[in-house]
Structures are given as C-alpha cells and as structure tokens.
C-alpha cells in the first residue's frame, strides 16, 4: 500500500520541478518588486502594491481563468508568443509553473520586502563613502543583508506552489505526466472509483512534504540569519 | 591642501550657513553644541547631503558648486568617513570590512600599507571575526581602518567616540593620536567634547546655530572669553604647548617650560626637550594679589589681567598673561570686587591642577 505507482512518482517529481522552476523564475521579479516597494515613493506605488498582492486574495480559479484568456493559443498575446517564439503555456508544465509562480509571488515579495525594510540605511551610506556605486552596493550590501528574507520567501513560495490546485487545473488542465501535480493527482484519485488507497497514499506524501518544507525553512532561516549577522 | 567649505542649507526651522577655510595641517576640529550643524557640515563635505547653495573645494578639486551645477557623488570624492556608530558591514569579516573600500579605490594604498594600518590600529587578532563579536572600541578601530585604507585625501570623523563609555574612549584616543602622527591624511574631527578637541586637534572651527562663530589655533580659541558660552565654562581653560625642561626623580616631578614661565607637574614619561600640550582649566586657577608663600601649590605664576568677562550669574572669567602664556581663571564676581581686579592689575595665578597630553611620537620616552 505504501509503494508509489509510477504515475504517482511522476506526479511527485513533476510537482517538485514545477515548484522549483516557479520559485526561481519569480525570484528576480520578486526582488525587484520588493526593492521598489520598500525603497521608493512614486505615483502608482499603491497600485503596484495591490497588483502584487492580488493573487493572495483572488480565488486561484480566477487567476487560472485570467491566464487562460490572456495566454491561451487563441488569445492575442498567447497566439503571438506561440507563433513568434514557439512558446506555449496552455496544457504544458511550463504553464503550470507560471501559474504557481504568479499565485505564490506575494509570499516572496512580502518576505523580501520585510528584510529590506529592516536594513540600516546607514550601512548602505557607508558603502557609498567607500566607493561603491548603486549596483555594486545592491549586490554586495543590500542583497546579502536581505538574504534571510529571500530564503524564507522562497521556501514559503515553494511549499505553497506544491499545493497549488485551482490556478493550475483551470489554466493548463490535468494532463498526466505534464500538468498533473500532486494535488491534481489526489483529486483524480478521489474522483476515480476505488482510488481511495491511492488518494490516502498521496495525502500522506503531501503531509510529509509539507513537514519537511517547514523543517527545512526553519533550519535555513537560522543558518542564514547567523551568516548575515556574522 | 586647503579645504574651503561654504554652503547654506535649510532644514525645518534651521538655516545653516557655514563657511570656513582651515589650513589642512593635522586635525581640524569641528566643535559646537548639539544641533550646531557639525554633522550637517561633514555630511555636506562627504556628499551625503546636497546643500541648496554652496561651494566646497578641497585642494584643487571642486566637490560642490551649485552655481555651476557641480556635485561630485560621495563615492568619487576620495573622502573617508568614520561614522559615530561605526556602521560596519555585519555580513563580512573584519578583514573584508577593512578591504571593502581598498578594493574599490582608484588611489588605494599599496598592499604593505594594509598591514601597517592593521598594526597601527591593533586589529591583527580580530581579522577573522564578524562585527557582532567586537566591542564598541574595536568596532571604532575597524571603522577607522576601513576609511583609511581607501587612501582618502581627507578623513572625516563624526564623533567617533560619542557612543563609547569613558574607558573605551581612553582606549581609542591613543590610536587617534598615533594616526595623527603617522598618517599624512588631513582629518576633520567632529566633537562636542572640548576634552577630545584640545587633546587631538591643531585647529578648531567653532560652530553654533548653523554658523561659524570662530576658527583658529586651539590655544587662541580656548582663551577667547567671548566663546566661553560655547566652549563650555566648566571644562574651559587655557591650552598651552610646552617643552619638557627636566625631571626631578626624587619627588617624581617634571618641569615644563612655557613661554616665559615654568610649570611643575607629576613626572611624565616624555624625554627632555619633547613637546607636550597642557590644559589648565579655568576653575583650577586661583587669583591672588600677593605671592602666597605658605601654600601647597607648586605652580604660582606672576601674571597680568588682560580681560574680564562677567556672567549673568555669580561668576566671571578672567584672562591673564604670565609673560607670553595665556591663562584663564574662573572666579566669583564678588572676589573681583573685593580684590579690585581690573584689566592691567598685576596678580599671581595659583594653579591647582594641570592636565598634560603628549604631542607626537617624539614625546614618548
């Protein structure tokens, strides 16, 4: 009963891959958004703030539907991407990663922004008097000092990505081996007569993954904090 | 190299108008009470503050000229800045902190200079540590070294001792004195402690209410009675450069020669002929009309009163000259009336206590 079938193993690996890609792809944008929100006052800042937090309050199904009508092969943007670059998100695991990235984007931005806000601006000023230009300063002072937030945000987003259901099934459907992640596999098993054992197995697996994620984030947070503080 | 600083900057309810042009020999002190505009001035020199109007020229380099639209950004000014709170990079070792500016400097000192500065500041054993594990005094020393290793043309020190307790201050002061002697870089030292200023600096610029109220040699400024409200009555006193004239081993005393007079102080570890700086606080000087004979005071100098300045309170400040040496005395107004003291009165200055500070490497025996 506790051995994973090949399809279930595929779903697990797919989930891990989709989450990893989602987190890493969103990271630079999350850093940029967090930096802009933490450091600058400009017209439209409130709007940006709302946009960044939108996925947090919007039902994931709505998010998935919005993605479908903008990036579907018949939508102008989706058609353009498909015809010009051969990029197709719908019914593809990359689309699942995109959906997961957008839905978990707020987690990353919030964590990074918090750690940026607590950086003593005097330390950055000091680097300026020591000859560091803005980009140099960002990569040698600001980013390393914000590392705890980066890691915390990435781990939270990764865990949340593993559980993403609504946006993925709406946007890229439930295709075995391509977009059927763990939550979708559980859903499928429950829908299938006699699939209760498989569903239970996958549920236990999900719980273990979640616990491992929490543990990892705790360990990482401690390590990174020690590193950043010296 | 000379520094010309002239700028106006408006804060809420505060209009700063600073202009000074000190000679760049040794340490220039920017002295004044809190809120006088000291930090604003050094921030303008460093480029961390962009004044509404002004001109800052250092040597032949124009750092700021609002009329011509010139503003050199801080990182290109070649000015080292030691902040009051050290501001070390917490995620780097002491070594990486020290080398941060060195690696980025266009005129960085040669590699052997790194070890010299590390040795000079006593940082050898701290290099691998993170700032979190340093004491306040150690942090200040690292901040000093970090700024020095950029090879700056000018070093700004913004109250580097203000956050430290007295014991830590006494730990850092000798290092600052060593830097003054061994490094050629001119320094601007911001402080509201007259103690530090008279000990370290050669020139003082006195700021008050956002304006320069006086500038000049330490000795001259310290004997200006009109500046007493700022230079601080309690700690105020004459600052005199003296030469060690001899030692008296039997009683453990040292004789110092000042202009036209001799002073006896507890034995110093300074060689004969070396320079020391003495500070005689106004409250440690008693005025007598005749030479007191049966007194324990060792230092009684004949002097002439040159100026008296009355306070609104019970006290008055008296400027005396013992030959060429200026002295200050703080006495009650009632004493002045009782003794009939006035400008030109010949008196005796009875000195209760003298603070001695070594000047330079040659001063150590």
If residue B10 lies in a helix (H) or strand (E), which one and from where to where?
Answer: strand B3-11
Size of interface A-B (CB pairs under 8 A): 72
Residues of A in contact with B90 (CB under 8 A): 123, 145, 228-230
Q: Which of A127, A128, A129, A133 to mutate: most B Cβ within 10 Å? A: A129
Count Cα atoms within 13 angstroms, Cβ side, for B269.
Answer: 4
Residue with tokens 């460093």: B46
Q: Is the pLDDT of residue B330 over 70?
A: yes
Report how far residue A224's alpha carbon sits from residue A213's, in angstroms, rounded to the nearest whole number. Answer: 16
Q: What are phi and psi of A164, to 5 degrees?
A: -65, 130
Q: What ipTM was predicted for this assembly?
A: 0.82
Residue of B nearest to A147 (CA): B91
Q: Is the pLDDT of residue B131 over 90?
A: yes
For residue A182, the model assigns a pLDDT of 92
Percent of chain B scoring above 90 in pLDDT: 30
Domains and CATH numbers, chain A: 6-229 (1.10.3720.10)
- Identify the DSSP state of B284: G
Report how far residue A211's alpha carbon sits from residue A206's, in angstroms, rounded to the nearest whole number. Answer: 9
**Parallel/antiparallel/unpaired status of strands B187-191 and B53-58:** unpaired
Residue of B nearest to A128 (CA): B75
Instruction: Please tell me if residue B147 touches chain A, with a CB cutoff of 8 Å.
Output: yes
For residue B364, the model assigns a pLDDT of 36
Domain boundaries, chain B: 3-222, 238-359
For residue A229, the model assigns a pLDDT of 62
Q: Is the pLDDT of residue B271 over 50?
A: yes
Which of A40-44, B13-17, B47-51, B304-308 has the lowest average pLDDT?
B13-17
Q: What residues in chain A have their Cβ under 8 A from chain B's Cβ atoms? A: 120, 122-123, 125-133, 136, 140-141, 144-145, 147, 227-230
Tell me the CATH class for B238-359.
mainly beta
Instruction: Please tell me if residue B45 touches chain A, with a CB cutoff of 8 Å.
Output: no
Regarding predicted confidence, which is higher, B185 or B16?
A: B185
**Residue A129: which of B46, B85, B89 has the nearest Cβ?**
B46
For residue B22, the model assigns a pLDDT of 64
For residue A148, the model assigns a pLDDT of 86
Region B80-104 average pLDDT: 94
Regarding predicted confidence, which is higher, A227 or A26?
A: A26
Region B50-77 average pLDDT: 90
Region A158-177 average pLDDT: 92
**Residue B83: which of A122, A131, A147 has the nearest Cβ?**
A122
**Residue A132: which of B75, B77, B79 has the nearest Cβ?**
B75
Structure tokens at B219: 């000795």
Q: Is the pLDDT of residue B344 over 60?
A: yes
Percent of chain A scoring above 90 in pLDDT: 66
Region B296-315 average pLDDT: 88
Distance from CA of B317 to the nearest CA of A (A): 42
Residue of A nearest to B83 (CA): A126
- CB B100 to CB A132 under 8 A? yes
Contacts with B182 (C-beta within 8 Å, 6 or more apart), sequence order: B120, B361
Q: Is the pLDDT of residue B365 over 50?
A: no
- CB A228 to CB B90 under 8 A? yes
For residue B23, the model assigns a pLDDT of 61
For residue A1, the model assigns a pLDDT of 65
Residue of A nearest to B151 (CA): A130
Q: Is the pLDDT of residue B59 over 90?
A: no
Q: Is the pLDDT of residue A221 over 80?
A: no
B273 alpha carbon, distance to own chain's centre: 23
Q: Listing from the earlier edge strand, what are the strands of the sheet with B61-65?
A: B70-71, B61-65, B53-58, B3-11, B14-20, B211-217, B203-208, B27-31, B187-191, B154-158, B79-82
For residue A218, the model assigns a pLDDT of 83
Q: Is the pLDDT of residue B363 over 60?
A: no
For residue A18, the model assigns a pLDDT of 95
Are the C-beta atoms of residues B108 and B150 closer than 8 Å to each other? yes
- CB A126 to CB B90 under 8 A? no
Could you report the per-residue pLDDT of A178-202, keeping only the tens digit for each?
A: 999 999 999 999 999 988 888 999 9
Region A140-165 average pLDDT: 91
Q: Is the pLDDT of residue B194 over 60?
A: yes
Could you report the per-residue pLDDT of B39-51, keeping only the tens digit for each?
A: 888 999 999 988 8
Report how far residue B24's alpha carbon sits from residue A65's, in angstroms, rounded to the nearest whole number. Answer: 70
Are the C-beta atoms of residues A180 and A188 closer than 8 Å to each other? yes
Q: Is the pLDDT of residue A141 over 90?
A: yes
Q: What are phi and psi of A84, to 5 degrees?
A: -85, -45
Region A154-176 average pLDDT: 92
- CB B79 to CB A129 under 8 A? yes
Count Cα atoms within 13 angstroms, Cβ side, for B195.
Answer: 11
Tell me the CATH class for B3-222.
alpha beta
- CB A127 to CB B91 under 8 A? no
Q: Which of A130, A143, A150, A151 to mutate: most B Cβ within 10 Å? A: A130
Q: Is the pLDDT of residue A67 over 70?
A: yes
For residue B3, the model assigns a pLDDT of 80
Q: Is the pLDDT of residue B264 over 80?
A: yes
Residue of B nearest to A132 (CA): B75
């Amino acid at each position: 009963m506790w051995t994973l079938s090949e399809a279930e193993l595929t779903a697990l690996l797919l989930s891990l891959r989709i989450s990893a890609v989602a987190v890493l792809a969103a990271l630079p944008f999350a850093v940029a958004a967090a930096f802009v929100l933490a450091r600058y006052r400009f017209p439209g800042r409130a709007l940006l703030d709302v946009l960044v937090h939108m996925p947090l309050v919007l039902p994931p199904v709505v998010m998935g539907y919005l993605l479908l009508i903008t990036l579907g092969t018949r939508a102008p943007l989706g058609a353009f991407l498909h015809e010009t670059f051969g990029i197709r998100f719908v019914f593809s695991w990359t689309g699942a990663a995109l959906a997961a990235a957008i839905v978990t984007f707020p987690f990353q931005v919030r964590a990074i922004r918090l750690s940026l806000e607590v950086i003593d601006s005097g330390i950055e000023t000091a680097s300026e008097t020591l000859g560091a230009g803005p980009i140099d300063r960002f990569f040698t002072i600001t980013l390393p000092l914000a590392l705890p937030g980066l890691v915390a945000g990435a781990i939270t987003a990764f865990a949340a990505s593993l559980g993403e259901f609504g946006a993925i099934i709406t946007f890229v459907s439930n295709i075995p081996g391509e977009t059927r992640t763990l939550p979708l596999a559980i859903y499928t098993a429950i829908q299938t007569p006699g699939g209760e054992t498989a569903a239970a197995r996958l549920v236990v697996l999900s719980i273990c993954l979640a616990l491992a994620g929490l543990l990892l984030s705790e360990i990482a947070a401690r390590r990174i904090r020690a590193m950043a503080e010296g | 190299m000379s520094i010309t600083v002239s700028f106006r900057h408006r804060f809420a309810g505060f209009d700063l108008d600073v202009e000074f042009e000190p000679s760049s020999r040794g340490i220039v002190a920017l002295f004044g009470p809190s809120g006088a505009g000291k930090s604003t001035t050094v921030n303008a020199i460093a480029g961390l503050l962009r004044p509404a109007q002004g001109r800052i020229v250092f040597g032949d380099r124009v750092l700021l000229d609002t009329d011509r639209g010139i503003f050199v950004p801080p990182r290109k000014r070649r000015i080292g800045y030691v902040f009051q709170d050290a501001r070390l990079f917490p995620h780097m070792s002491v070594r990486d902190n020290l080398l941060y500016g060195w690696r980025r400097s266009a005129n960085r000192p040669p590699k052997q200079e790194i070890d010299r500065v590390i040795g000079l500041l006593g940082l050898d054993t701290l290099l691998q540590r993170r700032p979190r594990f340093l004491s306040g005094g150690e942090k200040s020393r690292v901040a000093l070294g970090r700024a020095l290793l950029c090879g700056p043309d000018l070093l700004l020190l913004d109250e580097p001792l203000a956050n430290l307790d007295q014991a830590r201050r006494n730990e850092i002061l000798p290092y600052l004195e060593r830097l003054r002697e061994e490094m050629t870089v001119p320094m601007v030292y911001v402080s509201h402690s007259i103690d530090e200023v008279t000990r370290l600096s050669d020139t003082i610029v006195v700021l008050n209410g956002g304006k320069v109220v006086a500038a000049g040699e330490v000795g001259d400024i310290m004997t200006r009675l009109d500046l007493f409200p700022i230079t601080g009555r309690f700690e105020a006193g004459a600052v005199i450069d003296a030469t060690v004239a001899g030692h008296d081993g039997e009683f453990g005393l040292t004789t110092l020669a000042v202009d036209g007079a001799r002073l006896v102080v507890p034995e110093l570890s300074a060689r004969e002929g070396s320079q020391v700086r003495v500070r005689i606080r106004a409250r440690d000087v008693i005025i007598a009309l005749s030479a007191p004979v049966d007194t324990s005071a060792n230092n009684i100098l004949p002097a002439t009163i040159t100026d008296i300045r009355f306070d609104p309170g019970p006290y008055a400040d008296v400027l005396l000259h013992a030959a060429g040496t200026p002295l200050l005395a703080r006495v009650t107004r009632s004493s002045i009336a009782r003794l009939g003291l006035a400008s030109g009165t010949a008196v005796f200055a009875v000195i209760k206590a003298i603070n001695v500070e070594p000047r330079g490497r040659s001063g150590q025996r």
